[in-house]
Amino acid sequence: MARILVVTGRVAEGIVRRAVVYSGTKHCVEVVATPVPIAAFLTTDYIALYLKGLGVGPSDYDYILLPGLARGSGRVIEDAIGIRAVKGTVNAYDLADLLKLDDLSILSPDRPADEVLQNAVLSGLRRILMDVENSLNASNSVAVGWVRVPITPPPVRVVAEVAEAHTLAVDTLVGECLRLVESGAEIVSLGFEAYSPHPDAVRRLISLLRREVDVPIAIDSSIPSEIDAAIESGADMVVNIDLTNVGEIGKVDRSVAVVTTPRDPATNVAPDDVDGRIRLLERAVDAVTAKGFEKVFADAILDIPLSTFRSLLAFHRFKSLHPHTPMFMGVGNVVEMMDADSVGVNAILTMLAQEIGVSLVLTVEKSQKARGSTLECRVASQMASVASIKNSPPKNIGLSLLVLKDKRLYEEPLWDGVDEAVEAAEEERPYTPDPMGVFRIRVDHRSGYIEALYIGRRGRILIRGRSAKAVRHEIASRGLVSQVSHALYLGQELAKAEIALRLGKSYIQEAQLFKIPQFVKLERGVTLSRGPQLKCR
């Protein structure tokens, strides 16, 4: 147990004291509020003088815990008083978690605790994930190219597919594949047209990508000529060899991994009933194995929403019956067929994949709403791995897919010393054009830039930047704004543009960025028709 003196500003004192109580800390903690109202305005020089004025000496405490945003180094206080001074969290609310630590020696006199702890958490996560990787060997995994895929996860490997790869220019295709790898793809798959063979394109693109992309390459096709071309060209995996086409495959390579599905040769679709689907999948695995392929993954086919649970039962039951057969699941159908943000959908599907025992998940970022799915699945996969090793839910483990919502709501306390409180009206106000000129703002998602086109007295100037701050500084430094109202407006729009850029959303100047979902309200007292009613006499 350590003796800790927490230093804060006058405004945040109440929050800090509540955080200390809420933490249930074993440490002996005292709180001192300086006359400076805002903790972020405190400097370590001032704190040293203030504490010396209070008579604080080297034997009184083990640590002085400073506001995370205090300016200066805690070493100034340690030199002046003889007590180690370290920085706490940026938000006073988070002190509750910080004070649960048994050992505060890892904290820094120069960096906020949030940053220090995040680095420590990241190191711990890296150790766990590396242990998972190092546990894979020839007896419990299958090699797809140089990537080892566990027969039963963790980890769940992520396959990202480029749809209609043959229609893309070479530079575009390579760029997209590199983007997917940067987003976390461990295998890149090329998709082609369903009924139009392109074997020459398959050969050319696989040969190209094996030189340009440092991950295994797969092909997603059910056309025998394309499959043969892929195997000849050195593809590491072929998705969709099954009972409908296995007899027509001319090339067999034992080193190539194969994904098979329960498509019925009579109907060319998977059966709806779980038992029928499992029986066909078993036959498909046997047929592909008999063909000479040794690395066979079973895909029970994940159905679209309102049929998804039934198909998950097929995955679960097949894995229960065949625990030594690795499984493959395409999650893109569910993401595409539901108008919901992909982050949560990909997270739960990846968690379910690990729970069921599915080793590979396939995602496709064809539509705008599916953009980012590769990263989301990879983060979810790592969350599932860490949670599995820690035997805990995927919560508070150092990895997160919270993008639009927070676990806690931070609210600054009410400032004291206010002379007048005014409620701003929502009414439209007269607009006076800035005589210096106007700006047209757009987001270029492909290049990752916010663009502001100035049109005015200085001519037409295009200002491009990666952040709202960068564009704002350039506008100000060039003196392109002469009215406060115009400057405030630009700040508002540039902030919206940066959020849109980071989240992959459409940006339209002066339009709302987010819409709150609404349910359909039904009138009370209205009886819903249930069809004709029969009366008994």
Higher pLDDT, 425 or 82: 82
| Cβ contact 222:198 at 8 Å | no
Q: pTM to 2 decimals?
A: 0.87
> pLDDT of 152-204, one tens digit each?
999 999 999 999 999 999 999 999 999 999 999 999 999 998 888 999 999 99
What is the model's pLDDT at position 534? 46
**3-class secondary structure, 200:** helix
Locus of tokens 């649970």: 309
Q: 5 and 61 in contact (C-beta within 8 Å)?
A: yes
Tell which of 390, 420, 450 closes a domain.
390
Task: Cite the beta strand spans of 231-375 per DSSP E.
Answer: 237-239, 257-260, 295-298, 328-330, 360-364
Please indicate, yes or no, whether residues 90 and 149 belong to a single structural domain of this protein: no
How many domains are there within the chain?
Answer: 3
Do residues 103 and 208 share a domain? no
Closest CA to 452 of 500, 529, 509: 509
Mean pLDDT of 252-278: 96
CA nearest to 93, candidates 19, 8, 194, 183:
19
172 located within any domain: yes
51 falls within a domain? yes
- Does residue 255 sit in the same domain as residue 332? yes
The answer on 112 and 40 residing in a single domain is yes
212 found inside a domain:
yes
For residue 308, tell me if it sits in a domain: yes
Residue-wise pLDDT for 6-63, tens only, equals: 999 988 898 899 999 988 999 999 999 999 988 889 999 999 999 999 999 999 999 9
415 lies in some domain: no
pLDDT score of 477: 96
Secondary structure of 97-133 as H, E, C letters: HHCCCCCCCCCCCCCCHHHHHHHHHHHHHHHHHHHHH
> By mean pLDDT, which of 85-89, 260-264, 418-422, 459-463 is the weakest?
418-422
Q: What was the pLDDT predicted at 410?
A: 72
499: in domain: yes
Proportion of the chain above pLDDT 90, given as a percent: 83
Residue 67 forms part of a structural domain: yes
Helix (H) or strand (E) holding 412: none
Rounded CA separation 295/291 (Å): 12
Residue 222 inside a domain? The answer is yes
**84 beta partners:** 63
For 465, other C-beta atoms within 10 Å of its C-beta total 19
The phi and psi torsions of 84 (rounded to 5 degrees) equal: -65, 125
Q: Which two tokens stand for residue 52?
A: 């010396």
Q: Lowest-pLDDT range, 266-275, 442-451, 520-529? A: 520-529
Contact 116, 141 (CB under 8 A): no
166-180 residue pLDDT tens:
999 999 999 999 999
212 and 155 housed in the same domain: yes
Highest mean pLDDT (candidates 381-385, 414-418, 427-431, 517-521): 381-385
Cis bond leading into 154, ω under 30°?
Answer: yes
The whole-number pLDDT of residue 165 equals 95
Strands (E), 407-458: 437-444, 449-456
Which residues span the domain enclosing 151?
A: 136-390
Residues 342, 260, single domain; the answer is: yes
Structural contact between residues 478 and 492, judged by C-beta atoms closer than 8 angstroms: no
Whether residues 227 and 362 fall in one domain: yes
pLDDT value at position 475? 97
Instruction: For 100-114, write each residue's pLDDT tens digit.
Output: 888 899 999 999 999
Question: Is 153 in the same domain as 105?
Answer: no
Q: What is the CATH number of the domain that holds 96?
A: 3.40.50
Is the predicted pLDDT of residue 529 greater than 70, yes or no?
no
Write down which residue in 335, 365, 390 finishes a domain: 390
pLDDT averaged over every residue in the chain: 93
Residue range 112-132, pLDDT digits in tens: 999 998 888 899 999 999 999
Q: Are 163 and 373 in contact (CB under 8 A)?
A: no
Q: Are 117 and 141 in a shared domain?
A: no
Of the candidates 390, 423, 455, which is a domain's last residue?
A: 390
For the stretch 340-386, pLDDT in tens is: 999 999 999 999 999 999 999 999 999 999 999 999 999 999 999 99
> Is 50 in the same domain as 146?
no
* Residues 298, 260 within the same domain: yes
- CATH number of the structural domain spanning residue 220: 3.20.20.20
Mean pLDDT of 437-442: 97
Strands 459-465 and 449-456 turn out to be antiparallel
| 95 and 168 housed in the same domain | no
